[in-house]
Amino acid sequence: MAGSDDKIDFFATTAFGMESLLAQELRDLGAGGVRPARAGVAFRGPVRLAYAVCLWSRTASRVIYPLGRFHAIDQQALYDGIYKIPWEEHLDRGGTLAVDFTGTNELIKHTGFAARKVKDAIVDRFRELTGVRPSVNTEQPDLRINVRLRDDNRVSVNIDLSGESLHRRGYRTQAGNAPLKQNLAAAILLFSGWKKIAKQGGPFLDPMCGSGTLPIEAAMIASDTAPGLTRNYFGFLGWLGHDAQGWDELIIEARERSEAGKEQLPPILGFDADPKMVRAAQQNCINAGFEQHIQFREGEALDVQPTRKGRGLLAFNPPYGERQGHMAALQSLYRSLGEIIRYRFVDWHRTVFTGLPDAAQALGVTPAKNITLYNGPLPCTLLAYIPAPEKKSVISEVANQQAEMFANRLKKNLKQLRRWLKKENVTCYRLYDADMPEYAVAIDVYEQWVHVQEYQAPETVDPGKARERLNAALAVIPTVLDVPAQNVFLKVRRKRSGGSQYGKLDKRGTLREVREGGLRFLVNFTDYLDTGLFLDHAPTRRIIRELAHGRRFLNLFGYTGAASVYAADGGAASTLTVDLSNTYLEWARENMAMNSFKGQDHAFITADCLGWISRCHGRFDLIFLDPPTFSNSKSMNGNFDIQRDHGELIRSVVNLLDSGGILIFSNNHRRFKMDDTLLSSGLIVDDITSQTFDQDFMRNKKIHNCWRIQKK
């Protein structure tokens, strides 16, 4: 038997595709003669090096110590070859053993029977030499023996120093339906560059964490914690050649490194939609010793947002969908993940590990790395995406006093609004509206997202200068508001000669949830000129909520139904939302359902409002009328002009009011003048425009007009 300082040829096994990572680990541990092979790496060093591999390797499965080789054409030759090995140098006579046998030839065709033959040879040698035979323990034996028979009848006999697969770290006492092996999870992280990202302070986020394997392995890597520290069994602990002192020294060093490393850990978070999985992850985290360092929360993967510190790593291990019936749902899921990768986390490193064929195509984005790994027997793909180039501060790049002034104006506006925002718990508001002529943009904040609308520059402005100023503004905004650049969305407002005011610009279909007035709404920052929630109408919506109790509410030109949601929240007896667009009415239904307003009391009608009003015979107690300034939709007869046609429109709508009913009429025509003849036609017309502006729109009160109208 070799001494503790003698150089020995060892072999470390791993899964297919992970050999390069294991080879680098061995070199880092000081191994010599490192030679990658299929599903493993050969290396050379003393016994203590093999211990270090068992303790520190994140990607190895087993560490094999070769005892000898011989040829065996049949079972007797196998028995004889095993018998000749001096087993008494490796196993105490009262110890326990287990035998793993792989391979067959023409005469040895049953691996289970061959394993028993090996065991018999070892036991017989002990009985004849000592009179005592060792016993079998297949779970945690003192000596696990690995025997491999090759096609050319060569037999290799080895001691498995790991005892059981090293992917079993010991911390995962609870797991989901298809958990990742821990060494596979470590390989995913290492291939994704997590070690370097963590050193730079970048956070880690797993939106589908399951039982927490990826976040826990990420914490181990980032804190320099040896993965073997959480194990209580290794195959060499019962081996007679065990160097106990050397092992104790390795453990002491590893514990010191782990404690020091935990003090420098970056933020590590895991989310899962299943509360049972979150609890399992939390327990596994406690077992691993990271309960103070990893946060596990319940949440939907598609709602995840980037943290605001550093360029982190986002890692997805989504379902693979082996059952054919799930494929349509999976395609939809992967498309949504692609949206997150392309737009929400563009400044992060992003990794998707999946067994879904054509996953990259489903995600809709080309990866920087495409690596095949195996999750058990299943071939899987690691798709890695690198972040966009880091931008320098625009203020220093532009070196422009106007850009500095723009940034200062945003800060000033934010300071003026801060007390109101906090007092009223407002998270969606207008921050800036062309306050400086050089920066003709409107900036609306929707929680962690920013919607920027550029007003089309007049022809007298040089297009190059206009573009330069816009680029400066777009770079200043994330800095001032402390949001990722990918959370800023730009649109250009141009005068439109006709058609729908809500014309489609894109087709991403990404809806995000925001809150206003204690209610939930879906908004879209890319596909349409407007987002689906007009911020200037927030006070008007509150007025509707105050008036709605017990009333039958009608929302004409209902758009995405925000006013209907407020009316329902105010206790309306019923709501009816009418709009020409199926898309917006479906959006309105989702807004209502998100706030738990469903059923026959809340109806939706797809119709040209002008024609529908003339056909309607119902009566309502509260009506909100917010028509477009101009429209020549193909579904309407002729065209509609708010200044020219509002008198006739209001008279028609008032006819739908029951006794004591109220009409709230609003429009966005900046030079609008109310038809004076309405006052002489039996109507009470009160201009309530001044009551319909919150503090964020006080700088520009020409954005809309609003009246409260009733029959005398």
Given a cut of 50, whether residue 1 has pLDDT beyond it is yes
Given a cut of 70, is residue 321 above it in pLDDT? no
What is the rounded average pLDDT of the residues 486-506?
Answer: 59
pLDDT at residue 418, rounded to an integer: 93
Domain count, the chain: 4
**CB contact burial 491-520 (16+ within 10 A = b; e otherwise):** beeeeeeeebbbeeeeeeebbbebebbebe
Any domain includes 275: yes
In a domain, 473, yes or no: yes
Output the CA torsion 14→16→20→22 (10° steps). Answer: -10
Domain presence at residue 176: no
Q: For 182-236, how does the pLDDT look when each residue is reduced to its tens digit (9 = 90+)?
A: 999 999 999 999 999 999 999 999 999 999 999 999 999 999 999 999 999 999 9
Angle between helices 582-594 and 562-569 (to 10 degrees): 30
The confidence score (pLDDT) of residue 454 equals 86
Q: What percent of the chain has pLDDT over 70?
A: 91
Residue 658's pLDDT is what?
Answer: 94
Q: What is the average per-residue pLDDT within 462-490?
A: 80
> Span 653-676, mean pLDDT?
93
Quick check: is 165 in a domain?
no
C-alpha distance from residue 626 to each of 58, 312, 370, 629 (Å): 62, 45, 52, 9
Burial label for 266, CB within 10 Å (0-12, 13-18, 19+), is buried
Kindly state the average pLDDT of the residues 611-629.
94
Query: Please, which pLDDT band fits residue 638 given cuts at 50, 70 and 90?
Result: low
| In the predicted structure, residue 476 carries a pLDDT above the cut 50 | yes
141/234 Cα distance (integer angstroms): 9
Hey, what's the torsion of the CAs at 268, 214, 211, 361, to 10 degrees?
110
591-595 average pLDDT score: 95
pLDDT value of position 99:
97
Q: Would you say residue 425 has pLDDT above 50? A: yes
User: For residue 682, what pLDDT is reported?
Assistant: 84
- pLDDT at residue 677, as a whole number: 85
372 with 400, same domain: the answer is no
The answer, yes or no, to whether residue 393 has pLDDT greater than 70, is no
Domain boundary among 323, 353, 385: 385
Mean pLDDT, residues 687-711: 91
pLDDT mean over 60-76: 96
Which of the four pLDDT bands, split at 50, 70 and 90, describes residue 366?
Answer: confident
Neighbours of 270 (CB within 10 A): 29
For residues 536 and 663, state if they share a domain. yes
Assess if residue 312 is contained within a domain.
yes
pLDDT value of position 635: 44
Does residue 396 surpass a pLDDT of 60? Answer: no
Q: Is it the case that residue 491 has pLDDT exceeding 60?
A: yes
Could you read off the pLDDT of 21-61 as tens digits, one per residue?
A: 999 999 999 999 999 999 999 999 999 999 999 999 999 99
User: Would you say residue 98 lies in a domain?
Assistant: yes
The mean pLDDT of the chain is 89
pLDDT of residue 126: 96
Q: Which residue has the higher pLDDT, 124 or 507?
A: 124
What is the 3-class SS of 145-209, one letter each residue? EEEEECCCCEEEEEEECCCCCCCCCCCCCCCCCCCCCHHHHHHHHHHCCHHHHHHCCCCEEECCC
Is the same domain home to 107 and 35? yes
User: Which of 322-336, 460-474, 544-558, 629-643 ranks highest by mean pLDDT?
Assistant: 544-558
Residue 171 clears pLDDT 70, i.e. is over it? yes
Residue 507 confidence (pLDDT) above 60? no
- Write down the pLDDT at residue 400: 57
Q: Which domain holds residue 304?
A: 182-219+264-385
| CA–CA separation, 562 and 542 (whole Å) | 11
For residue 624, what pLDDT band results from cuts at 50, 70 and 90? very high
Residue 245's contacts (CB-CB under 8 Å, 6 or more residues apart) are none
Same domain, residue pair 196 and 294: yes
**Closest listed residue to residue 667, CA positions, set 630, 704, 707:** 704
CATH number at residue 415: 3.30.750.80
What is the average pLDDT across 493-505? 47
As a whole number, mean pLDDT of residues 638-649 equals 88
Quote the CA–CA distance of 649 and 613 in Å, as a whole number. Answer: 9
Same domain, 477 and 525: no
Report for 52-61, 101-110, 683-692: range of highest mean pLDDT: 52-61
Is 635 within a domain? Answer: yes
Same domain, yes or no: 438 and 468: yes
CA distance 277 to 629: 52
Could you tell me if 447 and 352 lie in one domain?
no
Q: Are residues 578 and 669 in the same domain?
A: yes
Give 125-144 as a 3 state SS string. HHHHHHCCCCEECCCCCCEE
pLDDT at residue 172 in the model: 94
What percentage of the chain exceeds 90 in pLDDT? 70
pLDDT score recorded for residue 500? 43
pLDDT for 470:
79
Do both 115 and 20 map to the same domain? yes
Can you tell me the distance from the alpha carbon of 493 to that of 496, in angstroms, rounded to the nearest whole number? 9
pLDDT band for 498, please (50, 70, 90 cuts): very low
Q: Are residues 414 and 370 in the same domain?
A: no
Question: Is the pLDDT confidence value at 582 over 50?
Answer: yes
Q: Does residue 403 sit in the same domain as residue 439?
A: yes
Residue 454 sits in the same domain as residue 378 = no
Has residue 506 got a pLDDT over 50?
no
Q: What is the per-residue pLDDT across 439-456, written as a single tens digit (0 to 9) for each?
A: 888 999 999 899 999 887
Rounded-to-integer distance, Cα 21 and Cα 56, Å: 13
Residue 135 has pLDDT above 90, yes or no: yes
pTM here is 0.60
304 vs 24, higher pLDDT: 24
